[in-house]
Every structure is written in C-alpha cells, then in structure tokens.
Amino acid sequence: MKMALLDDEVISAEKALIFRQRTGRKGYIYACPECGEPARLHGKSGQDGHFEHKTRVKGCSLSHIAR
Ligand SMILES: [Zn+2]
C-alpha cells in the first residue's frame, strides 16, 4: 500500500522515506489505514516506497498485495 498512518496522521510512502532518512525511525511504527495493524516501510530513498503489514490480515483489502 502507498499510504499508512503515523501517529494518527496519514503519510505517503514517499514522505515516509524522507521521514525515515531524517529521523532514523524504522520498523513497525506505521499502521494500516484500513485495519490498524502494524506496518513497516519498504523501499530505498529516491525510489517509490510502499508499506507492508507485519502479518497478513484477513479481511483487510490492503493486506494481500505485496507491492
Ligand atoms: Zn490492513
């Protein structure tokens, strides 16, 4: 997915890559906007990133697409 929640604010993967580079914050600090489960950022700076759930979530339409 391309969008996630960070501290209850929607953030795009593109902005999250910049945020990660600036702050060094990594890991499952994001949440899926649909199911609220933890998600982490994948991707390198300067590329298109995306978020992935920590575990597959049944019933979440954002959960089963890997990229
Ligand atoms: Zn989800």
Q: Which pair of tokens denotes residue 11?
A: 């953030």
Query: What's the pLDDT score for residue 67?
Result: 45
Residue ranges of the chain whose pLDDT lies below 50: 66-67
CA of 60 to the centre of ligand 1 (A): 5
Q: Helix (H, G, I), strand (E, B), or coil: what is residue 16?
A: helix
Residues with CB under 5 A from ligand 1 (ion): 32, 34-35, 57, 60, 62-63
**Residue length of the chain:** 67
Computed over every residue of the chain, the mean pLDDT equals 92
Q: Taking the model in full, what pTM does it have?
A: 0.87
Strands (E), the chain: 3-6, 9-12, 30-31, 38-42, 50-53
* 64 CB-near residues (< 8 Å, 6+ apart): 56
Query: What's the pLDDT score for residue 25?
Result: 95
Identify whether the C-beta of residue 56 lies closer than 8 Å to the C-beta of residue 64.
yes
